[in-house]
Chains A and B, each alone.
Chain A
Amino acid sequence: MSGASHRLPTGGRVQRGETIEFEFEGRRLAGLRGDTLASALLANGVTLVGRSFKYHRPRGFLAAGVEEPNALMTLGNGARTTPNVQATVTELRSGLIARCQNAWPSVNFDLKAVLGGFAPLLGAGFYYKTFMGPRRGSWMFYEPFIRRAAGLGRAQHKSDPDRYETRHAHADVLVIGAGPAGLAAAAAAASGGAHVVLVEQDFVPGGSLLGTPATSAHEKWRLKLVAAAQAQPTLELLLRTTALGVYDGNMVALLERHDHASCDASRGEAREVVVTLRTRSIIYATGALEQPLLFGDNDRPGVMLASAARTYLNRYAVAAGRRAVVATNNDSAWHTALDLAAAGIPVTLLDQRTTADAALREGAAKAGINIHWQARPLRALGGKAVTGVLAALESGGREQRFDCDLLCMSGGWMPAAHLTTHTGRKLIHSVGIDAFMPAGLDAGHFMAGAVSGHFALSAALIEAVTAGAAAAAWAGRPAASLPPTHLPVPDQACGFEPAGAPPLRAGSKAFVDFQNDVTLNDLIAAHDEGYESVEHLKRYTTLGMGTDQGKTSNINAIRQMNLLRSTSAAETTTFRPPYVPVSVGALVGRAIGRHFRPIRRSPLHDWHVANGGVLIEAGPWLRAWYYRWAGNSAAEAYRQEMRVVRTAVGVADVSSLGKIDIQGPDAAEFLNRIYVNGFAALAPGKARYGVMLNDDASVLDDGTTACLAPHRYFMTTTTAQAGEVMSWLEFLLQTAWTDLAVQVVSVTDQWVGMSLAGPKARVALELALPGIDCSDASVPYMSVRELEYEGMPLRLLRLSFSGELAYELYVPADHGVALWERLLARAAPLGIKPYGLEALASLRIEKGHVAGLELDHRNTLDDLGLGKMASRDKPYIGRELRGRPELQAPERWSLVGLECLEAAQRLRGGAILFADGEPQVGHGRGYITSVTWSTELDKYIALGLYQGGLKHVGETVNCAYPLKNESVRARLVSPLFIDKEGARLRV
């Protein structure tokens, strides 16, 4: 369908035999292989492609590449909807579906553009004043309105069916950009065998050369450069690959796009891949970005960067208009004028200067181009499409109107130096190009071509070969033979004159930032209000803060602000990764769903699943929350499980507890140092509960350590702190206490742990393990036995978390299921049942045992009522800082129990505590940490922290829970709710 209205009959680098059908705004259109979505739309005469962010002005294509601020579209449908994609970098593919954004009901008739009174509201400083000003509450008022009215595309809520990947790669030399400089530099770098990775965001290599006529000498040279690069066996050319960011240690994040080849996720094909590339050296050959001119209504569809019009013409054989005006302050746009004229398009050239490169002038005269010197555009004419331009001629001496449907502009070029600043390097102002270029590069980083301000091809080529050789040498694989540095094609003319201040016309908007709708008047307003520095200006006006990061606006804004301030201060801004917008899917890669993080499972996991266990995530662990035998909901089941433990016997899987094997002649001394209480005298066969502090005297963890034999100990930690404690012990032994002869090793995964608890626990044990003397005399409270039972190593500890007669049994992981099933089967006559995490946590609340919710690294030993445990006779970690007056203040929030006083109400974790009668505002006097229904007391009980703690026992407090608009009365009590004497433990 090359008969599309604006496709030229010949030329271009598109495959005329390959028609590609796609859909735009519900219309079926056709393009050619080699088109972008943008070029295909232009070929079909589509110039209105979006509405602007704030003002809903009609917008067309400004650019032909990665700098495009206007033509953001939503691609795909259903779960495969991708918003905010630049049409100018979207390779056309069969079946592509594209829609415009930010327009309702349609891009052609946008209601919000029609409604008056909208624009003044969103002037410069609107966001700043609304959100940073004294009346921040106004955000609440405006937010829904702004979200609806001003915005880009919308994400959809369905799960993305596509697959994304992460890949790691290495290179000797990374070359970023496969324009003439990048191609030459890469070939030079690879000539000595260096592994060179050359990345190009486009799907065709060649960079600026792709803007030259397809029949030109430049195209032949492009093909030669590509062939020379590809002839290097150690050179890897990655197309459709954008360098997103450069990080420390020469790590570069690359984004590979595979959208062009409709990827099948079921076959493992990834739509996008983030490549983490580590390289020895880097060559930036990222080129330069042409900048707009500032004049009234310079955003009308049909107003386009000159280089973009040339690219559409020469690369895609698309005439972006039928009558053109080219406005410029430099030589580069003359090539556009010449090529348009050669294609038979009448061209008027407005150059603000008094002369141009001689060869260009000669060519333009021959082509019949109508040239006006000292001429500049004042205002674009037209509405949804440009119809002409009003220009000031003869240095403003005369105004004239020129009709056109394509207005090309060039305000000079800005080196695409963004990546060079990611490691913290600054840019400097270069007077010759009135733009910013890298001030210097990190060691091992090189640059070549337009990015360094060398816009002439001849200079770029020499620089490229030099950089290639230097980068290869840096990588330790020097170049063997260098490509010729003689330019075989006519050079690019580079004459340039700064554009200066634009003549402003009342009533028209001159856009500086097209994507965020920031105008010259907004800059003037910012200047008037004192927001002059670039960083203030950005935040005040939102300039440069769109998804394009100001690729076509930053430099113009800085130039204009300098003019307003009458300064030449070369203040620049900071560019941050990513260079282009990147999908969240690509960043996340395969770390989704069950791959999000590793899941830890107990050796008893399969048993739980097969036997009615309902699982819950507890940190990285999947644990049995409750069992179906006890009820169909957690709220119902845990109470039933508690009753079994309190009246008969239950068994719980505690395998997730941290387990650390500690051995060595100094092990006792080691334990004595890390626990606040004494461990030096812990005899073989005995176990002890201990608490560890951090150096700052906050509680690190608690747990039980058993002495298996002289110099051999078995430590358990809480599930949550297992990793932290292990690292801490290793730290102490490897840094501060290297003189202690102690080895520690984590055995968490090697041992299954189970807690057998209840008044019938001993009988259960005797039934399950006949022949073992489980009497109180043989296995007294806080003792340990290391046994072997029918070939199964068994560690039997007598200790209790629930407050009942209880044992912890540890066997090697492979024996776990056998022992577990044996306990349940042999003790079945006693009514033994498995109980889950919810009941485990509830039983301990009745007993006032602190756990993870109380051990939050903010509370001290004394806050948790454990101060008496600390030894007075020996030093321990945290002892010195525990004495700080702040930590001993009597009004610190400390552990209390709470009993609910309202039968129809419940207590809630996180509720804020207020004294009775006091207004319920602010942070209160404490909060509830853990809540349970007490099956023994028949009411809700809780643990919490309260100002002054147990001094207030007996007082009534209000437990406020503003999220549910609740306030429930409770009484402060001792946290030890049941069996205060501990009689049940010692039977």
Chain B
Amino acid sequence: MLIIPCPHCGARDYTEFRYGGDASRPRPAHGTGTVNEWHDYVFVFDNPKGIHREYWQHVQGCRQWLVVERNTATNELSRAQLAREATRT
């Protein structure tokens, strides 16, 4: 039901994408981080009502990973950026 505005390809149906999880927290740098930090990164997620930053990959399009801001209460998408260039508002 979602339409995701891919920065490369334009507005596309969500069925062209795969969901990639929470994009709100940075991944610990490679080779660093304690077990607890990795545990929290891998297993512990907030479940916010409202804006949620999350990854989507345009698997049936340009293959780019996007950071999408989606309102979990309304499913409205307020922003979609290439993950490489993603910035916070």
Which residues of A are interface residues toward B (Cβ below 8 A)?
A: 247-249, 251, 278, 442, 673, 695-696, 723, 727, 730-731, 734-738, 874-875, 877, 879-881, 883-884
Q: Are A883 and B27 in contact (CB under 8 A)?
A: no
B41 pairs with A695, CB closer than 8 A: yes
Partner of A880 from B18, B35, B63, B74 at Cβ < 8 Å? B35
Specify which of B28, B31, B42, B65 is in contact with A731 (CB 8 Å cutoff). B65
B38-A730 in contact (CB<8A): no
B30 x A695 contact (CB < 8 A): no
Known: A695-B41, A734-B82. 5 other contacts (CB 8 A): A249-B1, A442-B74, A696-B43, A731-B65, A735-B55
Q: Is B59 an interface residue (CB 8 A)?
A: yes
Q: Is A734 touching B64 in the complex (CB atoms < 8 A)?
A: yes
Q: How far is the CB of B89 from chain A (nearest CB, A)?
A: 18
Q: Please tell me if the beta carbons of B30 and A737 are within 8 angstroms of each other in the complex.
A: yes
Decide: A881 near B30, CB < 8 A? Known: A247-B1, A248-B75.
Answer: no
Cβ distance A445 to chain B, nearest Cβ, rounded Å: 12
Contacting residue for A883 out of B28, B35, B57, B63, CB 8 A: B35
> A673 vs B74: C-alpha distance in the bound complex, in angstroms?
39
Residue in A249, A875, A884 whose beta carbon sits within 8 Å of that of B30 in the complex: A875
Complex Cα gap A879–B31 (Å): 8
Closest to B59 in A: A727
> B9: which A residues are within 8 A, CB to CB?
none
Q: How far is the CA of A735 from the CA of B74 in the complex (A)?
A: 26
In Å, the complex CA distance between A247 and B2 comes to 9
- A421 to chain B: closest CB distance in Å? 15
Contact of B1 among A251, A723, A737, A884 (CB under 8 A): A251
Expressed in whole angstroms, the minimum distance between the Cβ of B58 and any Cβ of chain A is 10
* B51 within 8 Å of A (CB atoms): no
Residue pair A880, B20 in contact (C-beta under 8 Å): no
Check B27 against A881 for contact (C-beta < 8 Å). Answer: no
- Contact A249-B55, Cβ < 8 Å, known A734-B83, A881-B39: no
Chain A residues with CB below 8 A from B74, complex form: 248, 442
User: Could you list some 18 contacts between A and B, CB below 8 A?
Assistant: A248-B74, A249-B1, A249-B75, A251-B1, A442-B74, A730-B63, A730-B65, A734-B64, A734-B82, A734-B83, A735-B27, A736-B27, A737-B30, A738-B84, A875-B31, A881-B39, A881-B42, A883-B35
Among the interface residues B1, B34, B63, which one has the most CB atoms of the partner chain A within 10 A?
Answer: B1
- Confirm or deny: B7 has a beta carbon within 8 angstroms of a beta carbon on chain A: no
Judge whether B50 is part of the interface by a CB distance below 8 angstroms.
no
CB of A638, distance to nearest CB on chain B (Å): 35
Contact B38 A881 (CB under 8 A): yes
Whether A727 pairs with B30 at a CB distance below 8 angstroms is no
Name the residue on A nearest B86 (C-beta): A735
On whether the beta carbons of A734 and B84 are closer than 8 Å, the reply is: yes
Give every chain B residue within 8 A of A735 (Cβ-Cβ).
Answer: 23, 27, 55, 65, 83-84
Task: Please tell me if B61 contacts chain A, counting CB pairs below 8 Å.
Answer: no
Nearest chain B CB to A148 CB, angstrom units? 40
Interface bits B20-38 vs A (CB < 8 Å: 1, else 0): 1001000110110111011
Which residues does chain B contribute within 8 Å of A730, judged by CB atoms? 57, 63, 65
Instruction: Find out whether the CB atom of A696 lies under 8 angstroms from the CB atom of B42.
Output: yes
Closest beta carbon of chain A to B66's beta carbon, Å:
9
Nearest-CB distance from B14 to chain A (Å)?
9
Cβ of B3: which chain A residues have Cβ within 8 Å of it? 249, 278
- Min distance, Cβ A888 to any Cβ of chain B, angstroms: 12
Q: Which residue of A874, A875, A881 is within 8 Å of B35 (Cβ)?
A: A881
A509 smallest CB distance to B (angstroms): 43
> Chain B 40-63, CB within 8 Å of chain A: the 1/0 string?
011100000000000101010001
Q: Which of A247, A278, A880 is close to B33, meaning CB atoms less than 8 Å apart?
A: A880
A879 to B1 alpha-carbon distance, docked (Å):
38
Q: What residues of chain A lie closer than 8 Å to B39, measured between beta carbons?
A: 881, 884
Chain A neighbourhood of B31, CB < 8 A: 874-875, 879
Q: Given A248-B2, A695-B41, A695-B42, answer yes or no on A727-B83 (Cβ-Cβ < 8 Å).
A: no
Which chain A residues border B20 with CB–CB below 8 Å? 731
Contacts of A278 in B (CB 8 A): 3
Bound complex: CA A572 to CA B43 (Å): 37
* A78 CA to B32 CA, complexed, in Å: 67
The residues of B that contact A736 with a CB separation of less than 8 Å are: 27, 30
Q: Cβ of A737: which chain B residues have Cβ within 8 Å of it?
A: 30
* Complexed CA–CA distance, A604 and B34 (Å): 49
- Residues from chain B with a CB closer than 8 A to the CB of A880 are 28, 33-35, 37-38
With CB as the reference atom, state the residue of chain B lying closest to A744.
B63
CA of A620 to CA of B76, assembled, Å: 33
Q: Whole-angstrom distance between the alpha carbons of A278 and B74 in the complex?
A: 16
The 4 closest A-B pairs by CB, nearest first: A875-B31, A248-B75, A248-B1, A247-B1
Nearest CB to that of B21 among chain A residues? Answer: A731
| Most chain A beta-carbon contacts within 10 A, residue among B27, B28, B30, B37 | B30
User: Cα distance A727–B18 when bound, in Å?
Assistant: 9
- Give every chain B residue within 8 A of A884 (Cβ-Cβ): 35, 39
> What is the bound-complex CA distance between A737 and B26, given in angstroms?
11
A91 to B69 CA separation, bound complex (whole angstroms): 47
CB-based contact A695/B38 at 8 Å:
yes
Docked Cα-Cα span, A696 to B39, in Å, equals: 8
By a CB distance below 8 angstroms, the chain B residues around A251 are 1
Q: Which residue of B lies closest to A278 (CB)?
A: B3
Q: Which residue of B lies closest to A250 (CB)?
A: B1
Q: What CA separation (Å) do A811 and B18 show in the bound complex? A: 31
How far is A731 from B83 in the complex, measured between Cα atoms in Å? Answer: 9
- How far, in Å, is B36 (CB) from chain A's closest CB? 9
Q: Could you say which residues of chain A place their CB within 8 Å of the CB of B82?
A: 734
Measured between alpha carbons, how far is A736 from B25 in the docked complex, in Å?
11
Measured CB to CB, the nearest residue on chain A to B66 is A734
A160 to B69, CA, bound (A): 43
What residue in chain B is nearest A253 (Cβ atoms)?
B1
Q: Which of B2, B63, B64 has the most CB of A within 10 A?
A: B63
How far apart sit A309 and B59, CA to CA, in the bound complex (Å)? 56
In the complex the two chains form, is A249's CB within 8 Å of B2's CB? yes
The smallest beta-carbon distance between B65 and chain A, in angstroms, is 4
Residues of A within 8 A of B37 (CB): 880
CA distance A736 to B82 in the complex (A): 13
Chain B residues within 8 Å of A874, by CB: 31
Question: Bound complex: CA of A877 vs CA of B38, how far in Å?
Answer: 11
Cα distance A877–B82 in the bound complex, in angstroms: 23
Bound Cα distance from A428 to B49, whole angstroms: 23
Interchain CB contact under 8 A, B35 and A673 = no
**Minimal Cβ-Cβ distance residue in A for B14:** A249
CB distance from A725 to the nearest CB of B (A): 13
Instruction: Report the bound CA distance from A944 to B43 in whole Å.
Output: 28
Min CB distance B31 to A, Å, is 3
Chain B residue with minimal CB distance to A884?
B35
CA distance A736 to B31 in the complex (A): 12
Complexed CA–CA distance, A584 and B18 (Å): 26
Which chain A residues lie closer than 8 Å to B27 at the CB level? Answer: 735-736
Say how far A590's CB is from chain B's closest CB, in angstroms: 16
B23 proximity list for chain A (CB < 8 A): 735
In the complex, A251→B59 CA distance in Å? 22
In the bound complex, how far is the Cα of B56 from the Cα of A5, in angstroms?
A: 65
Given the complex of chains A and B, what is the CA–CA distance between A987 and B77 in angstroms?
61
**Distance A737 CA – B20 CA, assembled complex (angstroms):** 16
**Contacting pair A731 B30 (CB below 8 A):** no
Across the interface, which residues of B come within 8 angstroms of A875, CB to CB? 30-31
A738 CA / B87 CA spacing, docked (Å): 14
Bound Cα distance from A278 to B15, whole angstroms: 14
Q: Which A residue's beta carbon lies closest to that of B35?
A: A880
Q: Give Cα A723–Cα B20 distance, bound, in whole angstroms.
A: 14
> Which partner residue on chain B sits nearest A724 by CB separation?
B18
Contact partners of B30 in chain A: CB under 8 A: 673, 736-737, 875, 877
Contact A731/B57 with A880-B33, A883-B35 known, Cβ cut-off 8 Å: yes
Q: How far is the CB of B72 from chain A (nearest CB, A)?
A: 11
Docked Cα-Cα span, A884 to B40, in Å, equals: 13
| Residues of chain B lying within 8 A (CB to CB) of residue A877 | 30
Query: Once the chains bind, are A734 and B35 in contact (CB under 8 Å)?
Result: no
Q: Which of A673, A730, A734, A874 has the most CB of B within 10 A?
A: A734
The one of B28, B38, B43, B57 that contacts A727, using a Cβ cutoff of 8 Å: B57
